[in-house]
Amino acid sequence: MRCRSGSWLLGLLMACGVCYPFGASLASSNATDETSIRTSTGTLNGAPYRIDIPKNWNGDLVVLMHGYEPKGVPRQSPWPQNEETPVFLSRGYAVAASAFASQGWAVGDALDDSERLRQLFTKENGKPHRAYVVGFSLGGLETLAMLERHGREYSGGLSMCGVNVSAPDIVARGVVASLVAFDVYFPNVLPDLASPASPAMIDPDRIQQALQGDPVKAARLEDRLQETSATLPGALMLDYMVLREIEQRAGGMPVDTTKAAYPEFADDDAFKSKVHRYKGTPSAMAYLADNATLTGRIVAPVVLQRNAFDQTVPNRFDMVYPEQAKAAGNASKVTVLPRVGEGHCDFTHEQVGQAFDVLVKKAGGAEGR
């Protein structure tokens, strides 16, 4: 997967050295020849969708979950082919992809809309021999949650560059932790993270200027947050944007950090005394927990593929889900592949295909029936 342009917001983040798969907002330049596939598009319960079936369909289905799509990003109509779809079509798989009914932290919609789409596919084309769910970035969390909620319908799942951590953990230990750490070292740059009056976005130039003003503190943040000087400004801006969108959706601060330990800064006494603590809003915390908390309770195999360097999902979260699965007695069902690619979701089609082939083998499937 390569960095793609197509919106002012994506262009702004790319200018900060950050690349994100914001969903299938652009058609793939490597799309399969339209004469070799049968395509249907439409809207299901408010969610645009697309189904592609190759002429050499092997009877199996891939349900594709796209990544975080910022609110307000224009959508094409009909919903275009996802950039990764050709990987699966070329192997004979049908692909069903929902845009989801809402943008932003649309985890709940992603699960419901994708399940409705799977059911529609079955109604129109018959029950597939095997169904797999594949997700990228935030779609990785959705993939794992889908397997935990609807596991009997799937033969396995593949999370590519995924947020493979329960939503409360990734927001508290990833998003909010990064923002409060920046606030400790560079106070008065960020607005109040919990105030409804704070803006939806922040000026990335302010973040960059602050970091450039104190290279020593900036280097410390880069080290502890597992970022680089090129990726940190964009990562912080994304964290802020995501948090504000979740707060708006959930109706308050979705995590409680009053007792957060921040182990990455355990050796910094000044950090402990200055870090801002936030009390969570109970209803917002419940919303985030529902969208979604992972348990490791799966009945089908899971394959996790990460990048060698990922500025969006820190590698300290890599083994969280495998450990959850182990605790649930499902260690043998999780396969963690060696890291490949530099940058969030920066995979070639070949690498995506290789990871998927591992999943098919683990699930006992066979290519080219």
Share of the chain above pLDDT 70, in %: 89
Under a CB-based contact definition with an 8 Å cutoff, are residues 210 and 160 in contact? Answer: no
Band (pLDDT 50/70/90 cuts) for residue 368 is: very low
Local confidence band at 15 (pLDDT 50, 70, 90 cut-offs): very low
Contact 28, 83 (CB under 8 A): yes
Task: Output the average pLDDT for the chain.
Answer: 91
pLDDT at 118 over 70: yes
Please, are residues 363 and 300 in contact by the beta-carbon 8 Å criterion?
yes
**For 17-33, what is the mean pLDDT?**
42
Task: Give the global pTM.
Answer: 0.92
Tell me what the mean pLDDT of segment 357-367 comes to. Answer: 86
Euclidean distance between CA atoms 133 and 131, whole angstroms: 7
Structural domains of the chain sorted by starting position, each given as residue range(s) with its CATH number in brackets: 8-166+296-362 (3.40.50.1820), 168-289 (no CATH)
What is the pLDDT, as a whole number, of residue 33? 59
Tokens 């050499």 — which residue?
A: 56
Please name the helix (run of DSSP H) or strand (run of DSSP E) that holds residue 369, with its range, or none. none
Output the pLDDT for position 36.
87
| pLDDT tens-digit series, residues 183-230 | 999 999 999 999 999 999 998 899 999 999 999 999 999 999 999 999
Residues 60-107 have pLDDT tens digits of: 999 999 999 999 999 999 999 999 999 999 999 999 999 999 999 999
